[in-house]
Amino acid sequence: MKIIVGLGILLSMVCHAKSSEVIANKSQIQTESKTIQERPMRIYDEFDRDKPEYWLQFLLGEPCRHAYHEVQFNEKCRKELKFAYTYFEPIYTDGSIQKNGKLKNFCYDSDGEKNCDYKIKKPIRFKGTLTLKRNYQEGACSAFESIHFKPNDKTLPEFLQQGFIVEIKPDEKIYNTFLPTIPQWFREYLAGEITYEVSFTLKDIFQVDYSACSMGNRGEIENLQIIRKISSKPYDRDNYMDVPEYNFALTLESKESYVNLRESPNGKILTQIEMNEFDKILLWNLDFDIIKEQYSWLGEIFTWQKLIDAKNTQDKDFNKDSKKSQWVKVLYFPPNVNDVSKAMIGYIHHSQIKGYEK
């Protein structure tokens, strides 16, 4: 009897131990499962590229985008990934089939291209500094015109804190909001920048681009409010000299010893430009049609400016007639003049500009 009882106790102990082991293993599995769920997908796993998690981690930028190991994916990266899950949805495919039978791709992560488009899942309201800039010193990888925004909120993810290019699609409300604030020099294609404090909502699409020659991330906006105009600064002569890419400098040619700069097409003479001083002056093309024709791909400000100028009935430079077509609108810096406020805007007949075709 004692042996049987002892054996029963022993079996009971073994069963209890096994049960405890099962419970412990189950608990461990649950813990590991939870850890796996919480652990963000590691980037650069080929099989993950068809999943949104891959492109949400791609969205974060450096250093989170290169989190090869979990230890590199720190608390900051986890917080930013949570933000990405909440507000962004990658449009890595639109469901359309290409000729090769594969889905059309909108996200690339290769040596040549690193970009992805994202749909905004929930509205994001921003407040910060918006800058309209025209800088002819920009190189080939940058547009000489841009609308750039930098938010004030330091709690935003890094990929938003660094700012992004604002895309303003043809929007009457936004145009009318800005119209009274745009100075005449900016409308006439002089280089410079205008800075505002604004608020707006990010709309529809956000494009992230980490390619080598990227112009930056881009976002569409709506419900724009100008809180205040901070500054307005036209650039001086230096911005028009030794231009690397977008060069609209002009060269004169004339049988006379001078060329007339006129106030309007065939109008009052403002000054005479001496041909023997040409190496001391700077003459810059302000002809809207020529600039637009050569660089219309640059985007938003061209479209925007065209609408502003069309609305501005006082600006007769954009009225098309045969007489005007013979004249070129220019910015003229006289010898030894660097200050743009001392420069002159006027018209020169196209026959006196070397190689100019109207």
DSSP 164-215: EEEE--S-HHHHHHHGGG--HHHHTT--EEEEEEEEEEEEEEEEEE-STT--
In the listed set 173, 205, 234, which residue is the last one of a domain according to the structure? 234
Does residue 6 form part of some domain? no
Task: Provide the residue-wise pLDDT of the chain in tens; the chain has 358 residues.
Answer: 444 444 444 445 444 544 444 444 444 434 433 443 444 444 444 435 667 778 888 888 777 766 545 545 678 888 888 899 999 998 876 666 666 666 666 788 888 788 889 999 999 999 999 999 988 888 767 677 888 999 999 999 989 999 999 887 667 788 788 888 989 898 888 999 999 999 999 988 899 888 877 778 999 888 999 999 999 999 999 999 988 777 789 999 999 999 999 999 999 999 999 999 999 999 999 886 666 555 544 545 555 665 555 555 444 444 444 445 789 999 999 999 999 999 999 999 999 998 666 5
In the listed set 200, 234, 268, which residue is the last one of a domain according to the structure? 234
17 three-class SS: helix
**Is the same domain home to 216 and 326?**
no
Cα 308 versus chain centre, distance: 21
Does residue 269 form part of some domain? yes
Q: Are 130 and 154 in contact (CB under 8 A)?
A: no
pTM equals 0.75
In the listed set 234, 261, 293, which residue is the last one of a domain according to the structure? 234
d(CA 133, CA 142): 12
Q: Are 194 and 181 in contact (CB under 8 A)?
A: yes
In 3D space, the residue among 193, 284, 183 whose CA is nearest the CA of residue 235 turns out to be 193
**Is the same domain home to 323 and 282?**
yes
Number of domains in the chain: 3
- Domain of residue 54, residue span: 14-86
In 3D space, the residue among 177, 271, 291 whose CA is nearest the CA of residue 227 turns out to be 177
